[in-house]
């Protein structure tokens, strides 16, 4: 059931992708904002309580709904699985931006590529060179594919029903909404959400990076992962970008033009300067990684049936 649910959810998302600001996401963010206003007293303890309340309300409700539907009719539980997984994904949205930037660069429409990249990343890149645009798009694609697909799938497979996918997605939203605030009261409140997200992300991001490494240049990917990831400020992104750059044989990171200034960043990956051809290679890497995950799930399903 897990494998079939995943395949159907992927097909559904490709045929009818959800908007990035969908109803479900707006509801989660609205509940998080309301809860923070009521509970936040500027302490870490209040942030811990709010996080646990939010996670319990979401994951236990989904797990309970799945169990009730299973008791009523397994086919209803299966359809619930597919629906919730579909709502938790966002791979089609990210792949749309990546493909549009790829096409724009191939056609020489540099300004259009910069505008698309800015809309995807939420920052201005008007002064970025074509190589910078390709480099940033590859980085964003590697990280986004994990957080909107591979990470969701990892926890969906690990926990019962669709509760793992919901836990992962809600934890990510809470870390973004509560853990990224700079003012002292909000920072203390969101510290637990950020640490909890790092703990939840620790294993799946390493599994994804391992698959990237196996699907590309393994030796270079592992070398970049071990030697370069420590240089990047955000740990999970660093592992994905370093291993992905090594697997693809392309240099990522490095200074870029962003919002009218030059942002200094360490070099990640190995090989040649990023270009349109590396964007095509990135697409191939991500699809190979997805097929490997589906193949492994198929093997596990077959082993389960044989063992009965």
Residue 275 to residue 269: CA distance in whole angstroms: 14
Write the DSSP symbol of residue 160: S
Q: pLDDT tens-digit profile of 112-139?
A: 999 999 999 888 888 889 999 999 999 9
Mean pLDDT over 94-104 rounds to 92
Q: How confident is the model at residue 90 (pLDDT cuts 50, 70, 90)?
A: confident
Supply the pLDDT for residue 99.
93
Number of domains in the chain: 1
The lowest-confidence range among 27-41, 67-81, 158-172, 255-269 is 27-41
Structural domain for 112, as ranges: 2-306
Q: What mean pLDDT is reported for the chain?
A: 88
Supply the pLDDT for residue 22.
60
Q: pLDDT tens-digit profile of 224-239?
A: 999 999 988 888 899 9
Residue 174 to residue 168: CA distance in whole angstroms: 10
> Kind and range of the H or E element at 23?
helix 23-39
Q: pLDDT tens-digit profile of 274-303?
A: 999 999 999 999 999 999 988 988 887 787
**CA geometry: angle at 212 spanning 211 and 217, to 5°?**
115
Contacts 24+ apart (CB under 8 A), 194-201: 196/51, 196/171, 197/171, 197/172, 198/235, 198/236, 200/155, 200/167, 200/168, 200/171, 201/151, 201/236
Supply the pLDDT for residue 67.
92
pTM: 0.91
**pLDDT over threshold 80, residue 178:** yes
Q: How confident is the model at residue 94 (pLDDT cuts 50, 70, 90)?
A: confident
């Amino acid at each position: 059931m897990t494998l079939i649910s995943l395949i159907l959810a992927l097909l559904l998302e490709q045929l009818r992708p959800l908007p990035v600001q969908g109803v479900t996401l707006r509801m989660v963010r609205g509940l998080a904002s309301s809860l923070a206003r009521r509970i936040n007293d500027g302490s870490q303890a209040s942030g811990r309580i709010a996080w646990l309340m939010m996670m319990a309300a979401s994951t236990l409700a989904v797990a309970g709904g799945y169990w009730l539907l299973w008791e009523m009719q397994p086919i209803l539980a299966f359809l619930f699985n597919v629906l919730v997984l579909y709502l938790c994904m966002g791979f089609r949205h990210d792949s749309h931006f990546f493909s549009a930037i790829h096409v724009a660069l191939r056609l020489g429409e540099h300004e259009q590529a910069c505008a698309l990249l800015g809309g995807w990343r939420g920052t201005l890149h008007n002064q970025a060179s074509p190589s910078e645009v390709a480099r940033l798009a590859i980085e964003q694609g590697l990280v986004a594919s994990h957080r909107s697909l591979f990470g969701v799938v990892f926890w969906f497979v690990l926990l019962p029903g669709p509760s793992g996918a919901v836990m992962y997605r809600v934890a990510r939203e809470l870390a973004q909404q509560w853990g990224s605030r700079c003012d002292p009261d909000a920072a203390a409140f969101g510290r637990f959400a950020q640490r909890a997200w790092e703990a939840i992300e620790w294993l799946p991001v390493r599994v994804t990076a391992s698959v990237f490494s196996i699907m590309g240049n393994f030796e270079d990917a592992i070398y970049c992962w071990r030697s370069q990831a420590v240089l990047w400020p955000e740990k999970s992104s660093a592992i994905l970008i370093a291993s992905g750059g090594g697997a693809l044989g392309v240099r990522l990171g490095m200074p870029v033009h962003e919002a009218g200034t030059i942002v200094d960043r360490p070099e990640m990956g190995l090989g040649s300067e990023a270009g349109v051809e590396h964007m095509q290679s990135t697409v191939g890497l991500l699809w190979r990684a997805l097929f490997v995950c589906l193949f492994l799930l198929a093997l596990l399903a077959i082993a389960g049936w044989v063992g009965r």
